[in-house]
Chains A and B, each alone.
Chain A
């Protein structure tokens, strides 16, 4: 009779473990996730299944941390790992070393997930976005110190506005640690107030190359920036999360430089126009004032006093003349009167009568003007122009 070998449960399990763990190493497995649980410990526990079977799976925290996307129930994934046997429970599970989504790229999914999450948080909101300064004095550019992007930006800035100052904050723009460097650079510029404007960007590349600008740490640093940020990541077709969060997005680094500063020639032209306008406004105003003064000087009211004076003096002259004339007139009238009076008086003058040959007869020194005043024998005198004769009267002739 042969001895039956009797195993203990542990012994059997150990053997199974040995067989399974040696036999199923470094496998790629695809399946659909269900019963997904993100444990507080950081480990991920889930089930991978297809329509006929399922297997428990686990992803330890250290591995899970490297994942860019978040798995969820229903997601179809491809995992790489081993079979492990958990003896105390007596089950086997798939120990995942890495996971990626089936179908769309892992990065693409991660991008969309983060974009959605940050959008819901409100990081892309327009009302948070700041206006760019019209005339920045200093521009901080967070980018690689080598490469086409910085050269292009410097070239555009030189052409458009060489009076501006540029501080390049050099960072890795891809690879491990790039996102952290970019975020730290944005923070530093804010902390030390190194510029009026920040341009964050890099030249073109694949989604992997540009990935740093899709990382949450960069998004948060750009959102928190007090200084306005222009995001210029890759080419026209590339949209990064940094682009959504920034205050302005530029399709290329060169475009960012164009957005950042006004063309100097335009501003010079503007100032020249201002000077011209001011000068002609002044000329116009001065001429206007001068015309007003001239008009004023010529105006009736202004000249009224002089006018009045002239008028008055004219009147005075006039009156003077009239006075003169009337005086003259009256004088000559009087003279005329006087002359005729004179003549008449003279005519009446007795001596004039005598001259004409008449005589004055007197008796007792009284003039006799009637023949009845004398009697015969009386004495008297007769005065002619040339003398007096004594007479004795005879009798009256009848």
Chain B
């Protein structure tokens, strides 16, 4: 759970990307800054595309043992 906090969520990455695009479009940034932003933007797009690229849906079925522990197993479809 702590790991989730460190890595930005898809939503956060996409939102940052939106901001970068808007900033670059306005064109009121110095050349150095715009190059840095561009690089960050391209990197973010790659990360986002990567996240979206999952080919197969992961479906788990939850079962709860008597002692309260959770098990996640693959769902058997019929």
Contacts and interface: CB of A to CB of B under 8 A. Distances in A.
A188 interface: yes
Contact of A274 (B18, B58, B60, B72): B18
B1 A167 contact: no
Contact of B62 (A170, A274, A286, A288): A170
A285 B31 contact: yes
A171 to B, nearest CB: 10
B21 A268 contact: no
A28 interface: no
Contact of B60 (A133, A134, A166, A286): A166
B1 A271 contact: no
B21 to A, nearest CB: 5
Given A135-B11, A163-B53, A279-B38, 18 more contacts: A133-B11, A162-B54, A163-B51, A167-B72, A168-B62, A168-B75, A170-B62, A170-B63, A188-B64, A271-B48, A274-B18, A275-B41, A277-B24, A278-B41, A278-B42, A282-B38, A288-B27, A289-B31
A145 B75 contact: yes
B25 A277 contact: yes
A164 B64 CA distance: 23
Contacts of A289: 31
A288 B34 CA distance: 13
Contacts of B48: 267, 271
A165 B31 contact: no
Give the interface residue-count category, chain A: 35 or more
Given A268-B52, A278-B42, A282-B38, A162 B61 contact: no
Interface stretch (A66-74, A99-107, A150-158, A366-374): A150-158
Contacts of A137: 9-10
Contacts of A161: 52
